Amino acid sequence: DSGVTQTPKHLITATGQRVTLRCSPRSGDLSVYWYQQSLDQGLQFLIQYYNGEERAKGNILERFSAQQFPDLHSELNLSSLELGDSALYFCASSVAGEKDTQYFGPGTRLTVL
Amino acid sequence: GESVGLHLPTLSVQEGDNSIINCAYSNSASDYFIWYKQESGKGPQFIIDIRSNMDKRQGQRVTVLLNKTVKHLSLQIAATQPGDSAVYFCAEAGAGFQKLVFGTGTRLLVSP
């Protein structure tokens, strides 16, 4: 158990819908990262937050957004969902943001029908 | 674009053997490298990391070797056990922030 929690574990929804994935980092960690894992793209970095502020952006679609709240938990919002958005979404956390080990949560499996 | 090249082979070993998983990276500016293990249905689990100012680092039953000249990273697992069966990913990070670029993974199968 990494100490990072994610909810829900599974999510099934329809195209065009909007969902919110939630992540609680390890106690004391200030950075949260979101990754998408799909069969054809592998693990792809989406976005990083540090102490409430966006720190880095990766291959995140405009339909996706994230935020980190004062209690340091983070949410990833996915809207106008498409079939191709079906994937595992992982959250990771680290103490700070510079070369600290990232610890991953168990992931949320999103299925878009 | 930047990439961490790890074609997805399957490495099959016998319990007790030593395993070596290889990874080629393409970004010569990367200075931090990590190995993760992912079991079915779980998130990636940190195994070991190495910074670019080192060429070898050892953990418990694992050793990571870094050859910056040929941009190659390897993970050695000693006395491989059935519980080591998983997909192993190498990842790299450049300077500035911790965006990790992951390879495609290698599946390790350990038979008793």
pLDDT digits (tens, 9 = 90+) for B57-72: 999 999 999 999 999 9
Per-residue pLDDT of A31-90, as tens digits, reads 999 999 987 778 899 999 999 999 989 989 999 999 999 999 999 999 999 999 999 999
A26 SS3 class:
coil
* Confidence band for B99, pLDDT divided at 50, 70 and 90: confident
Instruction: Give the sign of the dihedral formed by CA B15, CA A105, CA B25, CA A31.
Output: negative
Residues forming beta bridges with residue A53, ordered by sequence position: A50
Dist CA A78 CA A65 (whole Å): 7
Inter-CA distances, A58 with A68, B76, B109, Å: 16, 30, 32
Check B103 against A104: CB less than 8 A apart.
no
Contact residues on chain A for B1, CB-CB shorter than 8 A: none
Query: Are the C-beta atoms of A59 and A45 separated by less than 8 Å?
Result: yes
In angstroms, the CA A44 to CA A35 distance is 5
Pairs of residues, one from chain A and one from chain B, whose beta carbons lie less than 8 Å apart: 60
Categorize the per-residue pLDDT at A14 as very low, low, confident or very high, splitting at 50, 70 and 90. very high
pLDDT level of residue A97 (50, 70, 90 thresholds): low
Distance between CA atoms of B67 and B55, rounded to whole angstroms?
Answer: 6
Chain B (40-59) residues lying within 8 Å, Cβ to Cβ, of chain A: 42-46, 49, 51
